[in-house]
């Protein structure tokens, strides 16, 4: 990234430096300020403007002598800001501290819309959501409808989907006048079917797509492969959505250009990424994985959910400067049909008492479970910036401790591994049959 020296006079007082970072025109224009402190004592500190809430400790100590440091204030284009934030932005941290089960004080998707002043405000924006026949996808589509967006709801079971759409329109609470959500038939266990679904969407969407929400997923399936010979969890959760993104990318780019507002791709991942890093990184290891070698249903889920975040970060890195930002969201624990493939042994491994305790505490309602996705879709915090993030509890996420128990917040470092991200991207292009970009 080229560095561009700004004609700023370097402020001498720490508070002025902070003020500059938070208010400068460059910051408003989405060009982040990065401060380089070239000093042996201070080391190198890089602060992204919109995340600075306090200066590094070393700069606020009473014996700080600014002249002793060679401070350079430079700008760089951070429309493709990457990597986990040093200070995660967590506006809903307080209400997530002491969870009391579904329906407690944690925000619903409707609450997020209200807080973001987004009710009816997405008029003219086209949103496509996968997995709208059940669970979190239903509530995400409902919220996007309340936001006034032109919603395309995708699913494989059209009868179920028709019922969902009817319910969304009939039970709208805040915005009853939006365009009726349109159904798209989309089967994710066949790449050919994904191409068909994408084509159907293209015919109907009028060349517009501002928000793509890759929500559909399967969890802990026994070993099986799809029509393309791919292991089911990686096929449905990652490769199908990767192809969908590739096919719809021109629309996301065009919509960003036409509207002047960047498009967003939101990949619904899981804290389950902590179960495993990606289990393959080239054709040979993918072939072995597809053959069922060393298969474990939870490792497979973790691997596919890690792929969701790696893909998100790659989108932001590759297309952030062209107007597409990627965000990965963990919805939390929600009692949906996702557990349909869990065996008696799987449940026993969790322990009955443990499951009961989790249901009564950390579990959320489906509307609360869609809140993080909706936050990623509408929050001004992500308007053309802060992409390439893993989000949970409607906030950016900090690093998980090695021994942190399931259900505690935090990401594992492998999801920000740029080398792995590139390998997955290259391999995914090959698998789904698109030119590498
Ligand atoms: N629930 C949780 O606690 C939790 C936690 C972390 C992450 N997540 C993530 O949240 C997302 C949504 O899960 P959920 O809890 O809402 O689960 P869900 O109730 O089982 O819904 C999953 C959706 O994906 C669709 N789907 C599955 N396989 C498909 C295929 N081959 N082709 C097309 N559509 C397919 C389902 O369609 P059908 O109705 O036809 O089956 C359904 O619409 C998933 O990505 C999941 O990994 C959930």
Question: Of 228, 189, 321, 213, which Cα lies nearest the Cα of 267?
Answer: 213
Question: Of 86, 32, 93, which Cα lies nearest the Cα of 384?
Answer: 32
The domain ranges of the chain are: 3-80, 94-432
Tell me if residue 363 falls in helix, strand or coil: strand
92 part of the active site = no
| Ligand 1 pocket, residue 337 CB under 6 Å | yes
Cα 112 to middle of ligand 1, angstroms: 22
pLDDT at 192: 98
User: Which residue is listed with tokens 């449940």?
Assistant: 347
Beta bridge partners of 364: 334
pLDDT at 9: 45
Q: Hey, whose CA ends up nearest to atom 17 of ligand 1?
A: 338
Q: Which of 295, 319, 350, 411 is the catalytic position?
A: 295
Plot region of 101 (φ>0 → left; ψ -120 to 50 → alpha; else → beta): left
Question: For 156-215, how does the pLDDT look when each residue is reduced to its tens digit (9 = 90+)?
Answer: 999 999 999 999 999 999 998 899 999 999 999 999 999 999 999 999 999 999 999 999
pLDDT at 168: 98
Is 140 exposed, middle or buried, given 0-12, 13-18 or 19+ CB atoms closer than 10 A?
buried
Q: Hey, whose CA ends up nearest to atom 45 of ligand 1?
A: 217
Q: Work out which ligand 1 atom sits closest to the CA atom of 216.
A: 24
pLDDT at 82: 67
| Ligand 1 pocket, residue 197 CB under 6 Å | no
Q: Work out which ligand 1 atom sits closest to the CA atom of 334.
A: 3
Task: Give the Cα separation of 348 and 350 in Å (integer).
Answer: 5
Q: Hey, whose CA ends up nearest to atom 7 of ligand 1?
A: 270
Beta bridge partners of 71: 37
What share of the chain in percent tops pLDDT 90?
Answer: 72
Q: Please, where are the H alpha helices in 84-181?
A: 109-115, 135-146, 158-170
Question: Of 186, 426, 427, 424, which Cα lies nearest the Cα of 309?
Answer: 424
| Ligand 1 pocket, residue 217 CB under 6 Å | yes
Provide the residue-wise pLDDT of the chain in tens; the chain has 437 residues. Answer: 223 333 344 454 555 555 554 444 333 322 333 343 322 222 223 333 323 333 444 443 333 333 323 333 333 333 345 678 888 999 999 999 999 999 999 999 999 999 999 999 999 999 999 999 999 999 999 999 999 999 999 999 999 999 999 999 999 999 988 999 999 999 999 999 999 999 999 999 999 999 999 999 999 999 999 999 999 999 999 999 999 999 999 999 999 999 999 999 999 999 999 999 999 999 999 999 999 988 999 999 999 999 999 999 999 999 999 999 999 999 999 999 999 999 988 888 888 888 899 999 999 999 999 999 999 999 999 998 899 999 999 999 988 877 777 778 899 999 999 999 999 999 999 999 999 98
Phi, psi of 297 (to 5 degrees): -60, -30
CB of 17 within 8 A of CB of 11?
A: yes
Instruction: From 336, 340, 350, 368, give the residue whose CB has the most ligand 1 atoms within 8 Å, as the site to mutate.
Output: 336
In the CATH hierarchy, which fold is given to the domain comprising 94-432?
Rossmann fold (3.40.50)
CB of 284 within 8 A of CB of 215?
A: no
Instruction: From 128, 162, 196, 216, give the residue whose CB has the most ligand 1 atoms within 8 Å, as the site to mutate.
Output: 216
Beta bridge partners of 416: none
pLDDT at 83: 75
pLDDT at 240: 98
Cα 422 to middle of ligand 1, angstroms: 26
């Amino acid at each position: 990234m080229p560095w561009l020296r700004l004609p700023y006079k370097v402020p001498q007082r720490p508070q002025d430096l902070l003020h500059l970072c938070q208010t400068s025109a460059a910051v408003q224009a989405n060009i982040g300020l990065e401060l380089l402190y070239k000093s042996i004592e201070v080391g190198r500190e890089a602060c992204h403007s919109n995340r600075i809430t306090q200066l590094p400790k070393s700069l606020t100590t009473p014996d700080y002598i600014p002249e002793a440091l060679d401070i350079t204030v430079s700008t760089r284009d951070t429309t493709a800001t990457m990597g986990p934030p040093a200070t995660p932005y967590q506006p809903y941290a307080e209400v997530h501290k002491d969870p009391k089960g579904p329906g407690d004080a944690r925000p619903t998707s409707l609450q997020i819309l209200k807080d973001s002043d987004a009710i009816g405000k997405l008029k003219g924006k086209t949103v496509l959501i996968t997995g709208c026949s059940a669970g979190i996808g239903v509530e995400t589509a409902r919220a996007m409808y309340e936001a006034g967006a032109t919603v395309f709801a995708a699913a494989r079971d059209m009868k179920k989907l028709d019922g969902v759409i009817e319910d969304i329109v009939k039970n709208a609470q805040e915005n009853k006048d939006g365009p009726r959500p349109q159904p798209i038939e989309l089967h994710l266990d066949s790449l050919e079917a994904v191409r068909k679904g994408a084509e159907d969407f293209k015919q109907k969407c009028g060349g517009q797509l501002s928000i793509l929400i890759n929500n559909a997923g399967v969890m802990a399936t026994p070993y099986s492969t799809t029509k393309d010979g791919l292991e089911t969890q990686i096929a449905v959760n990652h490769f199908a959505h990767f192809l969908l993104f590739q096919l719809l990318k021109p629309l996301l780019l065009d919509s960003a250009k036409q509207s002047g507002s960047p498009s967003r791709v939101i990949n619904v991942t899981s804290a389950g990424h902590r179960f495993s890093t990606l289990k393959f990184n080239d054709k040979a290891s993918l072939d072995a994985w597809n053959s069922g070698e060393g298969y474990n249903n939870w490792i497979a889920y973790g691997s596919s959910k890690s792929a969701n975040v790696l893909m998100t970060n790659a989108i932001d890195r590759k297309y952030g400067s062209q107007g597409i930002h990627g965000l990965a969201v963990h919805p939390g624990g929600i009692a949906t049909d996702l557990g349909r493939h869990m065996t008696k042994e799987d449940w026993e491994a969790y322990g009955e008492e443990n499951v009961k305790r989790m249901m009564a505490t950390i579990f959320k309602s489906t509307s609360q479970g869609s809140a993080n996705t909706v936050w990623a879709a509408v929050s001004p915090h992500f308007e053309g910036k802060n992409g390439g993030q893993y989000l949970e509890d409607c906030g950016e996420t900090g690093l998980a401790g090695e021994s942190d128990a399931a259900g505690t917040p935090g990401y594992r470092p492998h999801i920000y591994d740029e080398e792995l991200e590139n390998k997955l991207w290259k391999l995914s292009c090959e698998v789904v049959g698109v030119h590498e970009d």
